[in-house]
Amino acid sequence: MTSVSGGLNPSVWTDARAVFLDNINNSSLASAKFVKSIQHVEIVISDSSSTNTGAISSVDTAKCMIIKEGEELAAGTGGSNVEWDFDSATVIRVRRSWSDNVATCQATIVEFF
């Protein structure tokens, strides 16, 4: 299992299977560009805020969406898992569907297989 998590600032991991992934703030986009052929990945969607760190409030439920090449694949709630298949050229984007100055939506890649 390989675990890769986004940070407040974009980072590039040296692991050949890793991705470029960053957090989303104020409804911006985060991109995950895969640098090696990976056929399947599991994403855990989480969000938090400075006033409610590590928890998901009811108003934020189902507000994170996974975007693949312009197509919405899944809407997720905090702590939910989303899985799909894709090719190595795919750029996956995760975006917030609501405006909130304190909440952060983050997609964490937890497993490659």
Paired sense of beta strands 40-48 and 64-68, if any:
unpaired
Which structural domain, as residue segments, surrounds residue 22? 11-112
Q: What is the CATH number of the domain that holds 29?
A: 2.60.120
Q: Is residue 2 part of a domain?
A: no
Total domains in the chain come to: 1
User: CA-based angle 34:10:27, to the nearest 5?
Assistant: 95
pLDDT number for residue 100:
40
Percent of the chain at pLDDT above 70? 0
Reported as a single tens digit per residue, the pLDDT across 3-42 is: 334 332 233 322 222 333 333 333 333 334 333 333 444 4
- Domain contains 59: yes
Q: Report yes or no on 85 lying in a domain.
A: yes
- Is the Cβ–Cβ distance between 96 and 22 less than 8 Å? no
Q: Is residue 6 part of a domain?
A: no
78 in a structural domain: yes
Q: Residue 47 corresponds to which amino acid?
A: D
Report yes or no: 32 and 93 within 8 Å, Cβ to Cβ: yes
Within a domain: residue 5? no
Q: What is the pLDDT of residues 67-111, one digit of tens each?
A: 444 444 444 444 444 444 444 444 444 444 443 433 344 444 433
